[in-house]
Chains A and B, each alone.
Chain A
Amino acid sequence: MLTAAETDALMLSLRVGIWCVVGTLPPGIAMAWLLARREFYGKNLLNGVLHLPLVLPPVAIGYLMLMALGRNGPLGAWLSDTLGISVAFTWQGAVVASAVMAFPLMVRSVRLSLECVDRRLEAAARTLGRGSFRIFMTITLPLIVPGILTGAILAFARSLGEFGATITFVSNIEGETRTLPLALYTMAQTPDGESGSMRLAAISVALAMAALFASEITARKLQHRLGG
């Protein structure tokens, strides 16, 4: 039904999207907590830097990442020298690119939901003899699950649609970094590529709809459990 190239692009997009969500979740929750619950010097600056990927052209983000994380970049050289890791021009690099783009979306929705948590419930848990970490795990975290879910869906969607930062940072290598949007772009540049482009566009629509439905069903189940 799908050609080998289409399957490759679809599976790669899924893999990058899932790893992007998995990778942004823990730091996203930590950052959201920091911004929602703590006051510290430079908080506004941190918040600003965090939102840069939302306002900068993705190509600029990709270029900055290439400069920093490329084989000759300071961070990239350190990574490959000490840990033997290189993300430039690999699918892991595509994950990093979409994670950077998705991070502010993840942080925003988790933070919003953290700010809605009734802190009096946490105070009640303290009088019941529980320490801060245990309270976070048993009270706060379960109550912000809807926000985490929203953040995860946004991050996944951002990753599926990510184009500019990815193509700039890890290029357009078939089977390695050619995700659905990149494959679609490539096909559209090819003579007689109209039908191939349409097929890839249709796959993208189907994937996006499936993700939306999945989140809708999960959200409804959660709503039922938490009682709104």
Chain B
Amino acid sequence: MKKSDKQQKYKEVAYYPGCALEGSGHAYNRSTKALGEKLGLKLKEVDNWNCCGAMEVKNIDPKIQTYLSSRVMSTAANKMNMDVVMAPCNGCYHNLKKAEYDLENDEKSREVVDRLSKKAGHDTYQAGQVETIHALDWVKDSIGEEGLKERVKNSLEGIKIANYYGCMYTRPRHIFPEKDAGPGSESTSKPHFMDDLLEAAGADNVEFPLKTACCGGAHTLSDSDTSTKLVTNILRAAEAAGAEVIATECPTCHSGLEMHQIRAEKTLGIKTNVKIIYFTQLLGMALGLKPKKVGLHENVSDSFDFVKKKGLA
């Protein structure tokens, strides 16, 4: 697809917030909506959406997860007549992409989804009806770096940021056919879309080796000690790279980093000071939105004094 086509196509998208954005990740929901409004991008929330299955339902049975995700896409395509679904949560984004891949390539998945959809009484989702994108694709392709530069009011200049993408945004590779597709496309080994956007807003991105490391999000409660160790690695690596902020683009990663930053302090005695802020919050503030407008008060990691010091409030 040509760049100008995408620019037009992403001006109005079906918005799939997902469960986390209604609960622990509400700051991400608030800041994504505020950012869309500020940029003149329209979000139409998927009617009556359901959970995509997250990291859990696939362990009961992967095909139920495929069905759950397909129902969301079916609603967007068949009831709302939309051709793009934008999911800011890595988990939702990943599951919708996985369902798309399975429905295109696996006969058994098609059979199960068709059977369940008919029983549930809605149209079966057919692969190719919608394009699922992440909030990063949404901003990058509709506004882009140049568009952002023109709109920046409070530059992020002087803020050292480690961009953290987590697992579900890039792995496994086969469900993201548009990635690793030459110049301009996203990389699965060294993702850079968030780096590009924040740099356009003036940020000093640091060289961060753990961009796609795992935070242990799937076992954040059931195996907390492992998660705490994994998160501590990420926080320390970010600080060692000179970062003051870790920018996130996934509610599970974000709350995992916040929660285990505290847990590491309380159980291992390891204290880190790096702030954890959603990239939509950073971009929003760069475009002149007030911290509360992007839900900074809903983060556990308290960065009010920090953003004030950096001239963003």
Q: Do chains A and B stick together as partners?
A: no
Interface residues of B (CB under 8 A from A): none
